[in-house]
């Protein structure tokens, strides 16, 4: 299936590890030129190398997306190099394991840091790219949320931030001045995804019996998801074929989530 996004310019925030890196590589597989940005320079360079091997143009940048000046600089560098941008993937996020089980013992900083990392970063990137999407009358914005942006989770600051991201995408999708420019805004809500060097892998090493129990009780497929299973859905949303898909929050979770919608 020709997804008709060959030659488009895409930015994947935090596209150097996990889900974001898989999305960056999957977009490059479709012929998109890809920019990624994250903090760890070794990861940035390694991802740049892997993307270039796919024969597309690449802009790999070091940036901390919790800093407004870094977001401004990423977009400036993309526009200086490419003149425009077509696809934005707001992937950076997290905080689902931050803070304490006893909510009132969680420092206020956790609430604001989780909000900043997930919501403000997505708002800043999105509002910065919209003028370019409008100008060319085409664009795709996909935000990576979580099943806990669709239902209650154990960490309220995380559920609130992911729900806010979902509401942000839906609200922009409802704006005729944007949708009539062929710009879509959707969110993709992963369930538990196994990623080397992050939460679930660490927990599996430290507490294998507890993770086995979690799999039995919470994951109907009997396994975790893998990043590429998220990436393939995201790439389809970015395609021409998905023009009518706007304002959706799509769970990609093997039916882990409990929401009916």
Ligand X SMILES: NC(=O)c1ccc[n+]([C@@H]2O[C@H](COP(=O)([O-])OP(=O)(O)OC[C@H]3O[C@@H](n4cnc5c(N)ncnc54)[C@H](OP(=O)(O)O)[C@@H]3O)[C@@H](O)[C@H]2O)c1
Q: Which lies closer to ligand X via its Cβ, residue 32 or residue 74?
A: 74
- Kindly state whether residue 61 participates in binding ligand X, applying the rule CB under 6 A: no
Instruction: State the Cα–Cα distance between residues 107 and 115, nearest whole angstrom.
Output: 13
Residue range at the interface with ligand X (CB under 6 A); choices 10-18, 128-136, 176-184, 234-242: 10-18
Q: H-type helices in the chain, by residue range?
A: 18-29, 41-52, 68-82, 108-115, 121-136, 156-173, 176-179, 199-206, 208-218, 227-237
Q: Which is nearer to ligand X, 29 or 228 (CB)?
A: 228
Residue 186 makes contact with ligand X by CB under 6 A: no
| Beta carbon of residue 147, minimum distance to ligand X (angstroms, whole number) | 7
Q: How many residues bind ligand X (CB under 6 A)?
A: 26
Closest CA to 142 of 76, 80, 232, 31: 232
Judged by CB, which is closer to ligand X: 92, or 133?
A: 92
Angle between helices 227-237 and 18-29 (to 10 degrees): 50
Nearer to ligand X, 182 or 201 (CB): 201
Measured in whole angstroms, the distance separating CA 176 from the mean position of its chain's CA atoms is 24
Cα(28)–Cα(55) distance, integer angstroms: 8
Query: What's the rounded Cα separation, in Å, for the pair 18 and 195?
Result: 6
CA distance 97 to 76: 33
By CB under 6 A, is residue 195 in contact with ligand X?
Answer: yes
Please check whether residue 178 is in contact with residue 140, taking contact to mean a CB–CB distance below 8 angstroms: no
- How far, CA to CA in Å, does 164 sit from each of 72, 126, 133? 22, 14, 22
Looking at the Cβ atoms of 33 and 91, the one nearer to ligand X is 91
Residue 171 Cβ, how far from ligand X at the closest point, in Å? 19
Determine the interface stretch with ligand X among 24-32, 133-141, 192-200, 201-209 (rule: CB under 6 A): 192-200
Contact characters 34-53, ligand X, x per CB under 6 A: ----xxx--x----------
Kindly tell me which residue out of 29, 46, 66, 156 binds ligand X, with binding defined by CB under 6 A: 66
CB of 172 to ligand X, least distance (A): 18
> Angle, to 10 degrees, between the axis of helix 121-136 and the axis of helix 68-82?
20
**One residue of 29, 50, 64, 201 binding ligand X per CB under 6 A:** 64
| Interface residue list for ligand X (CB under 6 A) | 14, 16-20, 38-40, 43, 63-66, 91-94, 117, 144, 146, 190, 192-193, 195, 198
């Amino acid at each position: 299936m020709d997804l008709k996004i060959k030659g488009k310019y895409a930015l994947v925030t935090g596209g150097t590890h996990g889900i974001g890196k898989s999305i960056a590589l999957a977009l490059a597989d479709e012929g998109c030129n890809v920019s990624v940005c994250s903090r760890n320079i070794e990861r940035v360079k390694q991802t740049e190398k892997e993307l270039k091997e796919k024969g597309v143009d690449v802009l790999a940048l070091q940036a901390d997306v919790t800093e407004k000046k870094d977001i401004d600089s990423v977009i400036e560098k993309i526009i200086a190099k490419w003149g425009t941008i077509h696809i934005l993937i707001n992937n950076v996020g997290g905080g689902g394991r931050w803070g304490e089980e006893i909510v009132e013992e969680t420092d206020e900083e956790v609430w604001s840091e989780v909000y900043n990392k997930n919501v403000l970063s997505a708002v800043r990137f999105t509002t910065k790219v919209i003028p370019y999407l409008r100008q060319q009358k085409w664009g795709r914005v996909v935000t990576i949320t979580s099943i806990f942006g669709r239902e209650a989770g154990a960490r309220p600051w995380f559920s609130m931030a992911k729900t806010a991201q979902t509401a942000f995408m839906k609200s922009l999708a409802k704006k005729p001045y944007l949708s009539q420019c062929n710009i879509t805004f959707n969110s993709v809500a992963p369930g538990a995804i196994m990623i080397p060097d992050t939460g679930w892998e660490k927990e599996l090493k430290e507490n294998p019996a507890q993770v086995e129990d979690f799999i039995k009780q919470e994951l109907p497929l009997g396994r975790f998801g893998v990043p590429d299973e998220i990436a393939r859905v995201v790439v389809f949303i970015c395609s021409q074929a998905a023009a009518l898909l706007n304002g959706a929050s799509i769970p990609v979770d093997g039916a882990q989530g409990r929401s009916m919608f």
